[in-house]
Amino acid sequence: MAARPKALAKFPRRVTVYDVGPRDGLQNESRTISLEMKLEYIRGLKQAGLAQIEAGAFVRPDRVPQMADSDQVFRAISAEKSFAGPTYWALVPNRRGLERALEVGARAIGVFTAASESFNQRNIGMTIADSLAEIREVLREARKLKLQTRAYLSTVFGCPFEGEMSPKHAIDAAQRLLDLGAHQVSLGDTIGVATPKGVDLVLPKLISKNPAARIAVHFHDTRGTALANTLRSLEYGITNIDSSAGGVGGCPFAPAATGNLATEDLVYMLQGMGIETGVDLDRLCETSLRLHQSMGRPLSSRYLMAYAAKC
Ligand code: MG
């Protein structure tokens, strides 16, 4: 193995990228795409080397029409050889959602709640306590069935209704999800307000009590701080990072603003630092460009813009 520059010694050698584009991304886009295009997009991510892909959600189709075809997506993934390899994650809000996911072959499950009470009430119409009670049941069932599990915690660094969040509150909520048995908790900056200082206030406590492998970060680039926050998280030994191909997925509370950190921007930075991701950046860009074209969506990933402009 090649010697690493001393300045990079504090960073992990390898990072696992969780591409949340097909679910978190598309769910927060106003345009919907055909099942065929969605499957081509997911296959493209696989071919680009992504090993963790969030592919669908088993939520109410009348509330989230973009995810209405998740059963067909998972059926195709289970049946067709061209999808074999990656772990495909299914978001489930409750036990009914889990049942639906299992029926179509999902083996990796995401549950979700928020650090902010107001956000949880408005997003899923439940108190945090009620959502944790439901999550406990879903995780119990998932454990019996030996499924992989991750729990998304929204509004860790700020809430559109409550403003700045208390770090202690977010840390306690994350710990609770881990104690309920989620294999991993993903800390979400839902409205993209975090700065590295916020990372400093939240991560050390969690890292001191849990293996870093049980923690993921999910930054939004709404204000241009996602990569800075990611870099800070890497310094704490975090190796699980959420992003979406092309930065797909706007901000659910501000239609004009961008949302998820783009996988291209993330992978470019990591590759430049000699951190392995297993992702082929050119193939990923081609997949994202096809998706953007078919959606008629303007580009938001900086790397993808440069790639498209061949600069
Ligand atoms: Mg997101």
CA of 174 to the centre of ligand 1 (A): 17
* pLDDT per position as a tens digit, 103-119: 999 999 999 999 999 98
pLDDT of 31 reads 86
User: pTM of the full predicted structure?
Assistant: 0.96
pLDDT of 2 reads 65
Closest by CA to 251, choosing from 162, 190, 188, 163, is 190
Q: How far is CA 54 from CA 23, 150, 298, in A?
A: 6, 11, 22
pLDDT of 69 reads 97
Residue 251 a catalytic site member: yes
pLDDT of 165 reads 87
pLDDT of 123 reads 84
CA of 188 to the centre of ligand 1 (A): 7
Residues of the chain with confidence (pLDDT) below 50: none
Closest by CA to 156, choosing from 191, 205, 180, is 191
pLDDT of 251 reads 73
pLDDT of 1 reads 57
CA of 190 to the centre of ligand 1 (A): 6
Domains of the chain, CATH where assigned: 6-310 (3.20.20.70)
| Ion ligand 1, residue ranges at CB < 5 A | 24, 260
CB 64 within 8 A of CB 27: yes
pLDDT of 257 reads 74
